[in-house]
């Protein structure tokens, strides 16, 4: 037969479980410290939520910047394609505006000294 020893729980655990620690007079002197620690815990939790919200906003803004950058690049390449001399000449010929491409190269004007 095995011998079972009765181990007593530490007195503090018994007081916490039974609720006797709330009636202790020494607890009153620790109330400001406990309130301070409680306040720090609340601030810590709030800071965590705030940081998480900032990360979400940063990711959303980063995705928006990437999207706008790709849109900018596609519009810029389209503009470069449209503004080519041959493309402009073809568009002007199709619209029958009467504007023709010059075959004579431009001359440089230099001032006399």
Provide the pLDDT confidence category of residue 2 given band limits of 50, 70 and 90.
Answer: very low
> Is residue 39 a part of any domain in this protein?
yes
Residues 6 or more apart whose CB falls under 8 angstroms from that of 14 comprise 20
pLDDT at site 47: 98
Residue 105 lies in a domain: no
What is the number of other CB atoms lying within 10 angstroms of the CB of residue 92?
14
Q: What is the pLDDT of residue 7?
A: 61
* Token couple for 52: 């998480």
Q: Which domain holds residue 65?
A: 11-93
Indicate whether this model's pTM tops 0.85.
no
Tokens matching residue 27:
């607890």
- Give residue-wise pLDDT tens across range 19-28: 777 777 777 8
49-77 CB burial, b ≥16 within 10 A, e <16:
eeeeeeeeeeeeeeeeeeeeeeeeeeeee
pLDDT in tens, 48-84: 999 999 999 999 999 999 999 999 999 999 999 888 8
What is the count of structural domains for the chain? Answer: 1
Q: Is residue 86 part of a domain?
A: yes
């Amino acid at each position: 037969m095995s011998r079972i020893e009765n181990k007593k729980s530490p007195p503090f655990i018994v007081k916490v479980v039974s609720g006797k620690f709330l009636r202790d007079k020494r607890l009153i002197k620790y109330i400001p410290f406990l309130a301070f620690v409680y306040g720090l815990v609340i601030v810590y939790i709030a800071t965590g939520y705030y940081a998480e919200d900032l990360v979400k906003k940063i990711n959303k803004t980063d995705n928006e910047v990437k999207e706008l950058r790709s849109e900018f690049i596609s519009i810029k390449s389209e503009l470069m394609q449209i503004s080519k001399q041959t493309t402009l000449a073809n568009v002007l010929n199709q619209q029958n505006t009467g504007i023709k491409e010059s075959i004579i190269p431009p001359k440089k004007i230099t001032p006399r000294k």
